[in-house]
Structure 1
Amino acid sequence: MSASTIIPALRYADAPAAIEWLCNVLGCTKHAVYANADGTIAHAELALGGGMIMLGSAKDDVHGKRFKSPDEVGGVETRSAYVVVADADAVYAKAHAAGAVIVREIQNTDYGSREFAISDPEGHSWSVGTYDPWKAQG
């Protein structure tokens, strides 16, 4: 497995719930989770294929105040993540069953992907599809 050299990092008001949601819906696995004594998450690493995201609980410190969840700013977001999967229909079914907000219905694209977009429980955007830019398409 190759390792990603760009790793998105997010903050969540309820990081333990976000970890479970990302694992159950998107199929991430817990690579590392470091919990604080109060149950918040100091740092977590979730893996999927050769990629990873890092996340932690929202903090009320100087650095932490720079981050807002989309739910805190009227649903506006300045980033999105694309998750490459082998079977977009299976992940779509899991997301739908979990009550995910479907932002873009599953569809085939002109560039050979089968994909959809959802919002997680705190409003972060996740596009999910079969397009893999590392592999030749066709």
Structure 2
Amino acid sequence: MAVGLSGVHQHSVWASVVSDDAPALRDWLLELGFTQDLLIPGESPDAIHHCQLDWPEGGRILLSSTGERPTPCRPGTASLHVVTADPDAVLARAVALDATLVHELVDQTDYPSRDFTVADPDGNHWTFATFAG
């Protein structure tokens, strides 16, 4: 099946992730290659009220500790797609973190992408892919 691509790359949606151990997830994401833009501590010493993490190639995620903000989000229920020009390098960092590999690095045949998926410590799925739409 051929997939028609618009050619438009969108980098303006900010996904929100909630974690039972947001500081550990923040550190995990920083090791994968995200950079921290903003951190607002939570009510307790081990909580994050709001954290903004940027992907160097575009995009941002928002992270908070469970119970810090009213949200329907729950730990381990997100599935995120992160565009990267070098999924091999991101996979190497994920392997160094002992990340759970959900699907192996593969060159897709139905659409132009090289990608893999890992689960973070909360169980959220993160797909790192060359496919940007």
| TM-score, with structure 2 as normaliser | 0.82
User: Structure 2: how far apart are the matches of 1:5 and 1:51?
Assistant: 6
| TM-score, with length taken from structure 1 | 0.80
Q: Secondary structure at the match of 1:115?
A: strand
Judge conservation of contact 1:47–1:53 (CA < 8 Å) in 2: yes
What's the counterpart of residue 6 of structure 2? none
Residue segments in structure 1 that go unaligned for 5+ positions in a row: 71-76, 134-138
Shift of 1:10: 1.1
More helix by percentage = 1
C-alpha separation in 2, matches of 1:98 and 1:46: 18
Ranked by relative contact order (alpha carbons within 8 Å, sequence separation 6 or more), the top structure is 2
Query: Which residue is 2:102 aligned to?
Result: 103
Between the aligned residues of both structures, percent identity stands at 32
Distance 2:10 2:81 in 1: 16
- Structure-2 change in CA distance of 1:104 and 1:124 (3 Å): same
Aligned residue pairs total 122
In 1: Cα distance, 2:96 partner to 2:129 partner: 18
What is the match of residue 122 of structure 2? 122
Structure 1, residues 29-80: CA drift from partner, whole Å, max 9, x if none?
A: 001011135231010000012200001111177x35x43323xxxxxx3x41
Change in 2 beyond 3 A, CA 1:41/1:60: closer
- Structure 1 vs Structure 2 CA RMSD: 2.0
**Structure 2 vs 1, CA of residues 23 and 106 (structure 1 numbering), >3 Å: closer, same or farther?**
same
* Structure 2 residue 89 is the aligned partner of structure 1 residue 90: yes
